[in-house]
Homo-oligomer: A and B are copies of this chain.
Amino acid sequence: MKVLGINGSLRRDSLNLKLLKAAGDYFSENVEFEILSLGDIPLYNQDLDGDNKPAAVVNLKQKISDADALVFATPEFNHSIPGALQNAIDWASRPAFNSPLTGKATGMLSASMSPIGGARAQAQLHTVMASALAPIFPSIEYLLGSAHTVFDASGAMTDETAATRLERYIKGFEEWLQQGG
Please list the residues of chain A having a beta carbon within 8 angstroms of any beta carbon in chain B. Answer: 9-12, 38-39, 41, 43-47, 77-90, 93, 102-103, 115-117, 119-120, 123-124, 126-128, 130-136, 138-140, 143, 145, 179-180
Decide if A87 touches B87 in the complex (CB within 8 Å).
yes
Contacts of A120 in B (CB 8 A): 119-120, 123
Contacts of A143 in B (CB 8 A): 116
Decide if A78 touches B128 in the complex (CB within 8 Å).
yes
Question: Distance (Å) between the CB of A26 and the closest chain B CB?
Answer: 20
Question: Distance (Å) between the CB of A7 and the closest chain B CB?
Answer: 12
Given contacts A43-B39, A78-B131, contact A124 B124 (CB under 8 A): yes
In whole angstroms, what is the CA distance A125 to B164 when docked? 31
Decide if A130 touches B136 in the complex (CB within 8 Å).
yes
Contacts of A81 in B (CB 8 A): 86
Contacts of A124 in B (CB 8 A): 80, 124
Question: Distance (Å) between the CB of A79 and the closest chain B CB?
Answer: 4
In whole angstroms, what is the CA distance A127 to B88 when docked? 21
In whole angstroms, what is the CA distance A84 to B87 when docked? 6
Decide if B44 touches A82 in the complex (CB within 8 Å).
yes
Question: Distance (Å) between the CB of A143 and the closest chain B CB?
Answer: 7
